[in-house]
Amino acid sequence: MKDKIIVFSVVGLITLVGNWVGYGVSPIKAFPGMVVIALIAIIGYLLSKIIPIKLPAVFWVALLAILISSPIFPGHAFFTKLTDEVNILALATPILAYAGLSFGKDIGVFKKLSWRIVVVSLVVFTGTFLFAAILSEFSLRLFGKI
């Protein structure tokens, strides 16, 4: 848990810098929102330890965050006003930087893969995106939503 709190704090601070450089939001203004996000992470994580239903921690964390930001929760507007200051793309940039830095450990195995699996991967990613887009478009139109 201590490990997680440290990582949340460090990533939170890096995000505030990125949010400032890339989206012009001053770190002072976005700080409370970042704290709220980190607190939800910690509480959600603790909840997942207490609740006897076995589901990944991320599920409880997401559920908690949706709950306190949804219209049924008193004070939801207060929370979302704070978290709105943290740009989602600013939060994604450091995450993908960590992903990039871990890339080297997979490159050895990746080089050993045959060309076939690489081709199939591309087709699989394309297929899932394209078919989801087609079915979304179809069903949204069918129900007159777009």
Partner 1 sequence: MNNILKNAKIHFLVLIIVIISEIIGTKTLNVGIGVIALFPMLYAMVLGGIISLPSIKFLNTKEMNKAAHFLGICFMLFVIKVATAIGPSLPKIFDVGIPLLIQEAGHVLGTIIIGLPVALLIGMKREAIGATYSIDREPNLAIIAEKYGADSPEGRGALGVYICGTVFGAIYVAFLASIIGGWGIFHPISLAMAAGVGSNSMMAAATGALSVIYPDLKDDLIVYAGAANLMAGAIGIYVCIFFSLPFTARMYTWLEPLLGRKKAAVKKEETGL
Please report, as residue ranges, which positions from 86 to 115 form the binding site for partner 1 (by CB under 8 A): 86, 88-110, 112-114
Q: At closest approach, how far in Å is the CB of 34 from partner 1?
A: 8
Task: Report the residue number, 28 or 62, with the smaller CB distance to partner 1.
Answer: 62
Within residues 16-45, the interface with partner 1 by CB under 8 A covers 17-18, 21-23, 37-38, 40-41, 44-45
Nearer to partner 1, 28 or 128 (CB): 128
Q: Which is nearer to partner 1, 26 or 139 (CB)?
A: 139
d(CA 132, CA 130): 5
- Total number of residues that touch partner 1 (CB under 8 A): 96
Amino acid at 18: G
* 16 vs 30: CA distance, rounded Å: 7
Distance of CA 39 to the CA centre of its chain: 15
- Least distance CB 16 / partner 1 (angstroms): 10
Site for partner 1 in 59-78 (CB under 8 A): 59, 61-71, 73, 76
Contact by Cβ (8 Å): 120, 127 = no
Give the count of beta carbons closer than 10 Å to the beta carbon of residue 69: 16
Neighbour tally for 12: CB within 10 Å: 20
